Amino acid sequence: MSDAWERALRSALGPARALEPTEAEVQQVLTIDRSRSRTRSRPWHLPRLATAACAVVAIAAGTLAVPVTRAAVEDVLSAFSDWVSGDDGSAPGRPIAAGEDVQPWVLKEDGEKRVLAVARGGEKLVAIRDGDTITFGLDNFGVSGTIQDLRERIAGEKMMIVGPGDWLPNGRHDLRPVFGVVTPAVKRVEFTYADGGPPAAQAGLDGGFAVTVETNRPPESLIGYDGSGEVIARKDIRDYGMRYCPYVAGCPPWPPAPSPRRTP
């Protein structure tokens, strides 16, 4: 079998490799198991209970677990806080070079080091420091505040969506980049859809992402992976629709979600 066949097979099965059970599916299993255990004739003895508990933890780990220690110390702003205080060595992304193509409003003042390019997807997502404030900016949109202000808004999250970029120039309004910032531990993000089809993904992150998504599919989750492929962050993005509906009064509802699993 040629390389092309091998590649095609591997990539055709790629979506299966990226599937994750939803929290509801995990909860469903635990609920069914609890209801079955109540009807068992003999009580579980301790070793069995302990092993089963390990299995529950292992099963739930795929979707729910975030390492406690890392979760306690890191949020999406951790990597930028030292940079805002003036420590240029610790920042993610890269400094914007003089003369580099960047949104004009970014460059209204002095030197290059106050602006970092965090991600690129058609346009750039930049971080701008100005005194004690930081702005995450796209061409025509930005989120701004002091680290403390922003931290109150994001409440410990490891991924923050800044906003969508311009439509990609394919003339169909069905592809659009979504930009965001992530903690240094997040090395890959996946933008999954409620239809269960192939997700959009971006790897090799350094503080930010620009993932190109299909706007005519219902979004579901933004999943963050660390360097070893473990899920360390998950964000519900079901309300983050970006459909383009110029000819109707608002977009029609999404098609019904897949039917729920069997109830106990």
Partner 1 sequence: MTVALRTAAAIVGSREEAADIAQEVALDALRSADRLRDPQAFDAWVRKIAVRHAIRALRRRRAPATAVPIGLGWDFADVPAVEGDRDLLIAARGALAQALTTLPPRQRVALALRYVHDLTDREIADALGCRRGTVNALLSRGRAALRQSPALRELISMMEGSR
| Nearer CB in complex with partner 1: 164/198 | 198
Is residue 63 part of the contact set for partner 1 (CB under 8 A)?
yes
Is residue 46 part of the contact set for partner 1 (CB under 8 A)?
no
> C-alpha angle with apex 255: 254 to 260, nearest 5 degrees?
115
Is residue 67 part of the contact set for partner 1 (CB under 8 A)?
no
Q: Which of residues 145-174 bind partner 1 (CB under 8 A)?
A: 170
Distances (CA, A) of 217 to 167, 190, 236: 15, 14, 15
- The residues, any chain, with a CB within 8 Å of residue 151's CB and separated by 6 or more, are 75, 77
Minimum Å gap between C-beta 36 and partner 1 is: 8
Distance CA 126, CA 110 (A): 16
Distance CA 190, CA 235 (A): 10
Burial category of 193 from C-beta neighbours within 10 Å (exposed 0-12, middle 13-18, buried 19 and up): middle
Only segment of 12-20, 68-76, 107-115, 150-158 that touches partner 1 (CB under 8 A): 12-20
Region for 153 from its dihedrals, namely left if φ exceeds 0, alpha if ψ lies in -120 to 50, beta otherwise: alpha
Q: Which of residues 219-258 bind partner 1 (CB under 8 A)?
A: 258
Distances (CA, A) of 175 to 94, 167, 200, 240, 253: 26, 6, 11, 14, 19
Is residue 29 part of the contact set for partner 1 (CB under 8 A)?
yes
Minimum Å gap between C-beta 115 and partner 1 is: 23
Is residue 5 part of the contact set for partner 1 (CB under 8 A)?
yes
* Interface with partner 1: number of residues (CB under 8 A): 54
Is residue 66 part of the contact set for partner 1 (CB under 8 A)?
no
- The residues, any chain, with a CB within 8 Å of residue 60's CB and separated by 6 or more, are 26, 30
Q: Which of residues 87-146 bind partner 1 (CB under 8 A)?
A: 121
Is residue 1 part of the contact set for partner 1 (CB under 8 A)?
yes
- Contact positions toward partner 1, by CB under 8 A? 1-2, 4-5, 8-21, 25-26, 28-29, 32-33, 36, 47-48, 51-52, 54-56, 58-60, 62-63, 121, 170, 175, 196-198, 200-202, 211-214, 258-259, 261-262
